[in-house]
Structure 1
Amino acid sequence: MAKQNRIDFRVEEDIKTQFTEAAEVFGMNLSTFMIAAAQEQVARAQRHKQAVMLNDRDRDLFLAALDRPARPMPESIRKAKARHAALVVGD
């Protein structure tokens, strides 16, 4: 079993009460709730970091692609969509 580390922090009594009540809502003890809440924030931070990692060149290419007019759809894609629509409507 891996060695467990300890993290200590101090909060006002009313904040601890809020944390404890929230933990009870989810049927967790305070430690489990705090770890779960922190892990959610870590995942959120990682998603945010990944979402804004375009360099200037890639951003410019993306924006240029958005500015280009749409190309006409090839006939085979149009026919496939029509067949799909007929199947969905036919159900």
Structure 2
Amino acid sequence: MKTVTQRKTAARDVARLNFRLPAKIKKRVEDAAVLSGVTVSDFAVAALVSSADAVLRQREERKLSDRDRDLFLALVEAPPKPNKALKKAAQKYKKRSD
């Protein structure tokens, strides 16, 4: 059995999300939840989290074209020699970090 403190802590970690949806969609969600053997709330939360994760993961991924990939790998394998501006910036950084 949870203590009063545990219940209060758990209650603070919960947020509410309210929205309206067409009755047909609500019925579909309810049917899918029943078929999945979970509550409508659990089903909806799982679907929302899955969708949010997919969107965020897509945003985090960096996709390169074949040309960009080849250029990147070529630069990593044979980097160009540093120019004057880069050398100056490196010296400036070194002075600041010492």
TM-score, normalised to structure 2's length?
Answer: 0.53
The separation in 2 between residues aligned to 1:9 and 1:47, in whole angstroms, is 24
Q: What does residue 27 of structure 1 align with? A: 37
Note the alpha carbon deviations across 1:11-34, whole angstroms, 9 max, x for none.
111110001001111111111101
Moved over 6 A (4+): none
**Which position in structure 2 is the counterpart of 1:46?**
56
Unaligned runs of 5+ in 1: 68-91
State the alpha-carbon separation in 2 of the partners of residues 49 and 21 from structure 1.
32
Structure 2: which amino acid aligns with 1:64?
L
Measured after TM superposition, the shift of residue 46 of structure 1 is 2.1
User: Take 1:63 and 1:25, find their aligned partners in 2: how far apart are those partners?
Assistant: 48
Following the alignment from structure 2 to structure 1, what is the Cα–Cα distance between the partners of residues 40 and 16?
A: 14
Aligned residues: 62
Equivalent-residue separation in structure 1 for 2:73 and 2:16 (angstroms)? 49
- The one-letter code matched in structure 2 to 1:31 is S
Distance in 1 of aligned mates of 2:18 and 2:72? 50
1:81 corresponds in structure 2 to: none
Alpha-carbon separation, structure 1, partners of 2:55 and 2:31: 25
**What percentage of aligned pairs have identical amino acids?**
29
TM-score by length of 1: 0.56
Structure 2 SS opposite 1:5: coil
**2:71 corresponds to which residue?**
64
For the residues of structure 2 that align with 1:14 and 1:41, how far apart are their CA atoms?
Answer: 20
- Tell me the CA shift for residue 52 of structure 1: 2.9
